[in-house]
Amino acid sequence: MTERLRVENLYKVFSKSPDPALRMLAAGAKKADVLAKTGMVVGLNDVSLSVPSGAIYMVMGLSGSGKSTLARCINRLNEPSAGRILLDGRDIVAAGEAELRDIRRTRISMVFQHFALLPNRTVAENTEFGLKLQGVSPQARRRRAEEVLSIVGLARWGNHYPHELSGGMRQRVGLARALATDADVLIMDEAFSALDPLIRTEMQDELLRLQRTLKKTILFITHDFQEALKLGTRIAIMADGELVREGTPQSIVLEPGSDYVAAFTREVDRSRLFDARWAMTPVQPVPLAAGLCLAETGDGGGLVLDDGGHVVGALDSETLRGLRDTANFGNSGFGALRKDFVTVRECDSLLDAARAHRAGRPMAVVDEEGRLTGTLAADRILAGIAAAPPHPAGGLHA
């Protein structure tokens, strides 16, 4: 994935003359030191990150951690005190008034926590707001508004007023308004935080569904670690204006790196977060007979593969031992092949694997083409759910 947005050494101090504070920060001072010495509030302290194109990049932190400040610096609702923000290589911080306006109109759009819909305008008028500011003709912008409203599932609501809609529907309008301008970067500032839990889950699923086709670059601000895990391709965790941990959801859960981050990861449901590939024992198939390979499972038995790598059957440990002794697979071997093995895909969650597991039956883990890549025993599933260290040869996805 190419890089869409890059933040380099970004500082934000809430003051008209931030230089003394910036000097302190550069010398290694923390937010609290600066506040005590100068009385200035530090929003961001040397934040650098890189957002790949098409990612849902989660910025997570508690209130006061600077996450919203960071989002607002990206489209310069907050003016950064120092540092660079590169959108496709062009520095937003250095942009002049007209260029900034152009960026806000066509490149970066925003979804707000409390929706920020204009109460005196209909849903359709709110949706076409950005286009109206651009001077798009009424017919064209109404057409576009209807288009995006149907994308977010509000096709019939164009002529209603925001106060007639539920919270979830209002945020759909907020999303539609952000999508209408065709900006490729979307800033979602705690976009789902004001919604009640059921609607929030629904909106998260909706966002994931939309993102599959829209492929926007989304910078999503949240204080909810579960939300970050569910939506994020990458997560940046902030505290006191600093970036304390950045990485894929899985890597952060596995290696929090600090007590602050570990406090968030403690409650994580690993059975949903980690997949079968992560917990499985990889296999090294060995030739068994003409056109057949054997992949041993840990318990002394094995899975028999055809030359395409697909599992054709399982052998229990006794049969396998018998075959080894005679060193001849032949018809008796085929006759002993069990068909009651269980198959899960690599991308299935450990929860799915646990559900599929049956005592006494070997579990085969296969890739997208159905080729065997590993086996998964009950103890590995349990270990994976219970936060065991990663298997030396197991891979994290992403």
Partner 1 sequence: MLDANDLNIFPVDAWIQDGVAWIALNLRPLFLAIKWPVEYVLNLNIFLLQEIPFLAIVAVAVLLAWRLASLGVACFSAVALVAIAALGVWSEAMTTLSLITTAIVICAAVGIPIGIGCARSDRMWGVVRPILDIMQTTPTFVYLVPVVMLFGVGTVPGEVAVVTAAAPPLIRFTNLGIRMVETEMVEAGLAFGATKRQLLWEVQLPLAVPTILGGLNQTVLTAMVMSVVVAMIGAEGLGLVVLQGLGRLDVGRAAVGGIAIVLLAMMLDRITQKLAQPGGPGGRPLLRSLRALVRSGRTADDKTVASPATSKPAISSPDQ
Report, in Å, the least distance between residue 149 CB and partner 1.
Answer: 13
* Token code pair at residue 139: 């017919």
> What number of other Cβ atoms are within 10 A of residue 266's Cβ?
11
Beta bridge partners of 245: 237
CA distance linking residue 81 with residue 21, whole number of Å: 10
Report, in Å, the least distance between residue 372 CB and partner 1.
Answer: 51
Amino acid residing at 75:
N
**Helix, strand, coil percentages, rounded to 5, for the chain:** 40, 25, 35
- Looking up tokens 């590995």 gives 380
Report, in Å, the least distance between residue 181 CB and partner 1.
Answer: 7
Report, in Å, the least distance between residue 95 CB and partner 1.
Answer: 12
**Residue 218: φ, ψ to 5°:** -115, 125
Residue with Cβ nearer partner 1 (154 or 385): 154
Residue with Cβ nearer partner 1 (108 or 253): 108
Provide CB contacts within 8 A for 279, sequence distance 6+: 350, 353, 376, 380, 381, 383, 384, 391, 394
Instruction: Provide the sign of the torsion angle of the four alpha carbons 330, 335, 336, 340, taken in this order.
Output: positive
**Residue 13: φ, ψ to 5°:** -120, 130
* Nearest CA among 360, 365, 379, 357 for reference residue 305: 365
Report, in Å, the least distance between residue 10 CB and partner 1.
Answer: 18
CA dihedral 220, 221, 223, 228 (to 10 degrees): 20
The footprint of partner 1 (CB under 8 A) covers 72, 75, 77, 101-106, 108-110, 112-114, 116, 118-120, 129-130, 132-134, 156, 159, 177, 181, 187
Beta bridge partners of 10: 47
CA distance linking residue 82 with residue 345, whole number of Å: 48
Report, in Å, the least distance between residue 74 CB and partner 1.
Answer: 10
Residue with Cβ nearer partner 1 (142 or 357): 142
Report, in Å, the least distance between residue 183 CB and partner 1.
Answer: 9
Report, in Å, the least distance between residue 136 CB and partner 1.
Answer: 12
Residue with Cβ nearer partner 1 (132 or 357): 132
Residue with Cβ nearer partner 1 (114 or 310): 114
Residue with Cβ nearer partner 1 (30 or 132): 132
Can you point out the beta strands (E) in 77-138?
A: 82-87, 90-91, 108-111
Residue with Cβ nearer partner 1 (87 or 280): 87
Residue with Cβ nearer partner 1 (108 or 236): 108
